[in-house]
Structure 1
Amino acid sequence: MRNVAFLRSSEMTLVVICVAGVIGLAVASDGNSLSSNSIRVFLQFLAVPVLIGLAQMVVLAVGELNLAVGAMGGVAAVSSGILMADHGAPAPVAMFAGFGVAILAGLANGLLVVLTRISGFVVTLATFTILTGAQYRLVGTQTVSDYSDAVTSFGRATLLDRIPWIFVVACVVAILVSVFLRRARMGREMLATGGNASAAQLSGVSNDRSLVVAHTLSGAIIGVAAMLTVASSPGVNKSIGADWLLPSFAAPIIGGALLTGGSVVVLGTVLAAFVVRLVDAFRAEFQLEPTWVQFLIGAVVLGTVLLGQARKRRRRRALEPHPEQPTSRKVAAP
């Protein structure tokens, strides 16, 4: 039964799309997309979209939104780069500091949501503005690139001459997130809060704690994405993270996450990020305008949400009891 359910799931649909997309791209590029260098570049640019999709997914799991994904990553990245380039901090110290900045930003989001009782949409919109200003204040208009060779070497390192290590890190994070949400008690409590906050509270679950943990975990994942960006980019500046918001929503929503919370779609998020990356690869192959990619992704996200709402209404109607039909009685003739 479990195998049958998977074959009918959105993940299986995404698997088929991914396979078809890879084959189509190989045909369109005369096989060049399957070369070692092409695979390495493809996976290198896939690592960060996977991570920011997961960062959004864990917040969606509790019924929240995080609009500050890009600003959190940008501040973390430039903080790490400046510590190495301008202050001579050792690479491990600078990378850990940048990672910590993202965690603290996520923790602040969670605490603000709990203490103010304002929705995560409004809170993270405010912190997005604050962090964007902080990022510009830190780096200005310059690009910071004079940091440790060890960091940039890791960003270029590959496994088996095809798979970038930064993509391996992203996969490891995805596995850890999946195990945490499905196996750890705190992860299950987060899903309970997202599914039905009132029922979760009656069961002894602290909804406030779930919200704080979700936002903090989101910050931690964004911190990893920021550090991988520092390692794989030629430099960091005020534009780092500026284009993260749409992909962060696209991956989990296309992967099957519910905006109302209570769902985990780690595999679906990874596969959806792969599909979005395929779209961008097709765009580059046919030399189309980048705006077409944004238009297509936005349209797919909107269509996915509308389709999910239609399915939800259909299920609700199916579960509603049907009124009994009045039975006609024959009256015997006198």
Structure 2
Amino acid sequence: MSPAALPAAGPDGALARLLRADWFGPGLVTLAAMALIGALSPSFLSPLNLQILALAIAVNALIAFSQMIIIAIGQMNLSVGAIGGLSAITFGGLMDAFGLPAPLAAGAALLVGLLCGALNGLFIVWTGISAFVITLASLSIYKGINLGVTRAEPFYGIAEGVKAFGQALVLGPLPWLAVPTILVALGLSFMLARLPIGRFVLAVGGNAHAAELSGVSVGPTVVFAHALSGMLAALAGILLVARLQIGQPTIGDDWLILSFAAPVIGGAVLAGGHVSVAATLFGTAIVAIITQALVLFNIDPFLVQIVLGALILAAVGLNRLREARLAATRRGAAR
């Protein structure tokens, strides 16, 4: 091998890899946004506001991961919020109505999320109907069950330990609620990078037919991704109950846009096959920072939805441009 063909080494090579990393752009935007908003409003960087920001990111990142894993297989899950809401009222209801200990209630809620997600995946595989249609239908079903069980009334009897967990801090402004999210992020990163099932998920998203020809069981992989998505949505619902200290039936109603915004801002390819856990985490942070800034500057909160929509459009446009440039580079190299 000639010296020119050797991979770049040393500081220059490391810098090039850093600049090409999926998370670098969103991470840079996150730091720049915090610095800019902190300069305009010093209270933004106060310990209390940073704690509020961390609490929002802790829950919202799980919502984003729940959608991200479905985007990875080239599909979408419109029922993320409905699954999270149903799991949340399961968690709150079992403690309130039946006096179940919090760990058992949490386990039951996670099981509900897993089963709801698995049912989505099974129906998609068995019927061949698009994930959009199946999850749109299941959104209505799961939300209907939620309202039927609760009669639109919240559960107030949340265990004191859960309430304390929702407000406790680990270190400085970092809440305990962030710990499960950090562990999930590490686990997802390891799965996608190191485990066969993670490679199968990305392979199915990249090209399901080619993945099947290479020996990947596409159907079980799709069911796995949806089951994992449901469990992540359930965990988000559980943490939100701990944060709000109430089992509110409206939990999950406003998750849909957020669930897409953070992965897309993080560079996820909507066609599937390429996602980044770290970039999605930074995408979540960007959304939380913008939302908190609008509150600090007394800007109409309804503008949040407009800003999120604009961010999604901009991120998709940038991703398409990047994909076109990569395709052109590959064609040039092939010649």
TM-score bin, normalised by smaller chain: over 0.9
Query: Could you say what the CA RMSD is over the residues aligned between the two structures, in angstroms?
Result: 1.7
Residue 202 of structure 1 aligns with an amino acid whose one-letter code is L
User: CA 1:182 to 1:319, structure 2 compared with 1: closer, same or farther past 3 Å?
Assistant: closer
Contact 2:72 2:275 (8 Å CA) reproduced: yes
Q: Distance in 1 between matches of 2:186 and 2:155?
A: 32
**Across the two proteins, how many residue pairs are aligned to each other?**
322
1:145 is displaced (CA, Å) by 1.6
Contact 1:99 1:226 (8 Å CA) reproduced: no
Aligned partner of residue 302 in structure 2, secondary structure: helix
Instruction: State the match for 2:227 in structure 1.
Output: 216
| 2:20 is equivalent to residue 5 of structure 1 | no
Q: Structure 1 stretch 147-156 or stretch 227-236: which is displaced more?
A: 227-236
Structure 2 regions of 5+ residues with no counterpart?
Answer: 1-12
Q: Out of 300, 305, 309, which is 2:311 matched to?
A: 300
1:313 is displaced (CA, Å) by 3.4
Larger CA Rg, structure 1 vs 2: 1
| 2:77 is equivalent to residue 55 of structure 1 | no
1:203 is displaced (CA, Å) by 1.0
1:300 is displaced (CA, Å) by 1.2
| 1:232-260 superposed Cα distances (whole Å, 9 cap, x missing partner) | 11312221100111110001011000011
Overall identity of the aligned pairs, in %: 37
1:196 is displaced (CA, Å) by 1.4
Q: Distance in 2 between matches of 1:23 and 1:34?
A: 9
Q: Distance in 1 between matches of 2:230 and 2:15?
A: 34
Aligned partner of residue 159 in structure 1, secondary structure: strand
Instruction: State the match for 2:32 in structure 1.
Output: 20
- TM-score, L = length of structure 1: 0.92
Matching of residues 275-314 of structure 1 within 5 Å: 275-314=286-325
| 1:184-237 superposed Cα distances (whole Å, 9 cap, x missing partner) | 111111111111112211111111111011101111111211111111113122
1:177 is displaced (CA, Å) by 0.7
1:311 is displaced (CA, Å) by 3.3
| 1:236-290 superposed Cα distances (whole Å, 9 cap, x missing partner) | 2221100111110001011000011111210110001000001011101110111
Aligned partner of residue 257 in structure 2, secondary structure: helix
Q: Distance in 1 between matches of 2:230 and 2:88?
A: 13
Instruction: State the match for 2:9 in structure 1.
Output: none
User: CA 1:228 to 1:176, structure 2 compared with 1: closer, same or farther past 3 Å?
Assistant: same
Contact 1:53 1:251 (8 Å CA) reproduced: yes
Aligned partner of residue 158 in structure 2, secondary structure: coil
1:116 is displaced (CA, Å) by 0.5
Contact 2:22 2:276 (8 Å CA) reproduced: no
Q: Distance in 1 between matches of 2:69 and 2:15?
A: 25
| 1:147-185 superposed Cα distances (whole Å, 9 cap, x missing partner) | 210111111111124210111211111110110111111
1:79 is displaced (CA, Å) by 1.1
User: CA 1:317 to 1:24, structure 2 compared with 1: closer, same or farther past 3 Å?
Assistant: closer
Contact 1:79 1:138 (8 Å CA) reproduced: no
Matching of residues 269-280 of structure 1 within 5 Å: 269-280=280-291
Q: Out of 185, 189, 192, which is 1:181 matched to?
A: 192
Q: Distance in 2 between matches of 1:111 and 1:3?
A: 44
| 2:145 is equivalent to residue 134 of structure 1 | yes
